[in-house]
Amino acid sequence: MREANVFPTYRGEMEYVCLGCKARYPIDELHYTCPSCKGVFLLEDTRFSELEKTPGTAWRDIFDLRAATKNPALRGIFRFYELMAPVVAEEDIVYLGEGNTPVTRSSSALERLVGQPMAFKNDGQNPSASFKDRGMACAYSYLRHLVAKHDWDNVLTICASTGDTSAAAALYAAYVGAPLTSVVLLPQGKVTAQQLSQPLGSGAKVLEIPGVFDDCMKVVEYLADHYRVALLNSKNAWRILGQESYAFEVAQWYDWDLRGKVIFVPIGNAGNITAIMSGFLKLLRLGIIEALPRIVGVQSEHANPVFRYYAQDAEQRRFEAVKVRPSVAQAAMIGNPVSFPRVAYLAEQYQKLGGAGSFQVVQVSEQRIIESMLLANRHGHIACTQGGECLAGLLKAKELGLMEEGELAVLDATAHALKFAGFQDMYFHDGFGPEFEITPDKKLANVPRLVIDQDEKSRLSEDAFTVQAAQNVVGILGLDKK
């Protein structure tokens, strides 16, 4: 078992690769967009072919052995060190307990209702309660590496967020400490109270900008272009690398056999679906998996630029940003996703190797998103609204005939349900404005509540109150006497 704790000796040689003009840049500075054409980057290990000399079965054994490690640097996403950021020193790796989130098979009752075998990967069980910790663990580890290399004495980390990114960025900055300080920009009035409290609690400077996420993103992009700041949105290619660990973990959970699996992923800024495709492609290239799983991206009708792109004829496709409307899937409420060029590039690679149906995008209504979240949670899951979006996507895929009998759907619950508890409460109390286009189902929203007048309680003795309250419970539940 000691071998599981030994840090890898392999070191890669990584470069930024622009998806626009194909220019390459060294990694000794932080780059977010190409200096030549403003295109977005992927990171490439130019020594990756060295890894191909190790058989896929041997890689499986290596990663399976590390699953039992007690070395903090290998316990999280860096269990798959060679496949992600193999330039970071062991002492620079930041580990807060991220990764290794459970894949929970759905109850037989829920599977009967849906008509498909299914499971949720509960990424809300990451430290800041969302999948964003995967990317931040990698981005902050590399930032720590750069700080040590250049002896920087003051680094301002900054991000735009719909909630989850800011929580993760602030948490990891607080852990690393000096010389890092954290600033987050949020769309004013469009982040849940639970999400707003997280960066505040971690000590970040929180600035609210009128508008939506896309407006915040423009501000941080301007700052990153003109000032020395470390941008931590998914324009940061190191974050994409960290999020590839989701794909690696899913593959490992199913003993590296992904045949008959369909991965459902909500699309917001498109970094997560980018990372998941990239991760599976790496596993296939190394022979660790023998077949790609199918991937279905899901978008709300209120924020659907990627769906609109793929709904066009392949020869005439043209990407256009959309003006978003209010959505309960707040983390996906993005009309101009930064990572779209990565999606287009990787989806083409994915379909070449996995077939035309290996990558698809569906859109769903807000009504179905919130009710799918409730459906999942009432059958024992802890899915957020984005997890509800994935279940809604599965239901839509079945309606469109995209699912085969017996295929296992693996749904991405990107955050913890408690982050979006306010939306559940709005559903139960019919509190949605008309812009959400959600009308609560009276049967689903009719949650019995025991109400006893406070004045009546004060008039009764303790025993009399107990009897009165119990009789009210009996009236609601229709209990029979023994």
Determine which helix (DSSP H) or strand (DSSP E) holds 45, and give its type and residue range. strand 41-45
Q: CA–CA separation, 41 vs 47, rounded Å?
A: 18
The string of pLDDT tens digits covering residues 92-104 is: 999 999 999 999 9
Query: Is 219:209 a contact under the CB 8 Å cutoff?
Result: yes
* Number of structural domains found in the chain: 2
Residue 272 lies in a domain: yes
Q: What per-residue confidence (pLDDT) applies to 2?
A: 67
Are both 266 and 336 inside the same structural domain?
yes
Are both 341 and 454 inside the same structural domain?
no
Q: What per-residue confidence (pLDDT) applies to 450?
A: 60
The string of pLDDT tens digits covering residues 383-442 is: 999 999 999 999 999 999 999 999 999 999 999 998 888 888 888 888 889 999 999 887
Residue 209 lies in a domain: no
Are both 370 and 398 inside the same structural domain?
yes
Residue 389 lies in a domain: yes
Are both 318 and 373 inside the same structural domain?
yes
Residue 37 lies in a domain: no
The answer to whether the bond into 179 is cis (omega within 30° of 0) is yes
Q: Please say if the pLDDT value at position 231 is more than 60.
A: yes
- Alpha-carbon Rg for the chain, nearest whole angstrom, is 24
Residue 113 lies in a domain: yes
Query: Is 268:331 a contact under the CB 8 Å cutoff?
Result: yes
Are both 112 and 261 inside the same structural domain?
yes
Nearest Cα to 210, choosing from 182, 184, 186, 183? Answer: 186
Are both 383 and 408 inside the same structural domain?
yes
The string of pLDDT tens digits covering residues 166-215 is: 899 999 999 999 899 898 888 888 777 787 888 889 988 888 888 887 88
Q: What is the DSSP letter of 14?
A: E
Enumerate the H helices of 67-103 as residue ranges.
72-75
Taking residues 80-88, what's their average pLDDT?
Answer: 97
Are both 432 and 470 inside the same structural domain?
no
Q: CA–CA separation, 193 vs 422, rounded Å?
A: 8
Are both 254 and 347 inside the same structural domain?
yes
Q: What per-residue confidence (pLDDT) applies to 452?
A: 67
Residue 184 lies in a domain: no
Residue 64 lies in a domain: no
Contacts of 435 (CB under 8 A, 6+ apart): 325, 326
pTM comes to 0.92
Taking residues 256-285, what's their average pLDDT?
Answer: 96
User: Where does residue 462 rank: exposed (0-12), middle (13-18), buried (19+ CB within 10 A)?
Assistant: exposed
Are both 300 and 321 inside the same structural domain?
yes
Sign, CA dihedral 352-357-358-363, equals: positive
Beta strands in 135-292, from DSSP E residues, in sequence order: 155-160, 180-187, 205-209, 230-231, 261-266
Domain extent, residue 116, equals 103-127+238-436
CATH number of the structural domain spanning residue 371: 3.40.50.1100
Residue 98 lies in a domain: no
Are both 282 and 400 inside the same structural domain?
yes
Are both 453 and 387 inside the same structural domain?
no
Are both 400 and 465 inside the same structural domain?
no
Nearest Cα to 284, choosing from 347, 354, 341? Answer: 354
For the chain, how are helix, strand and coil distributed in percent, rounded to 5?
45, 15, 40
Q: CA–CA separation, 433 vs 389, rounded Å?
A: 20
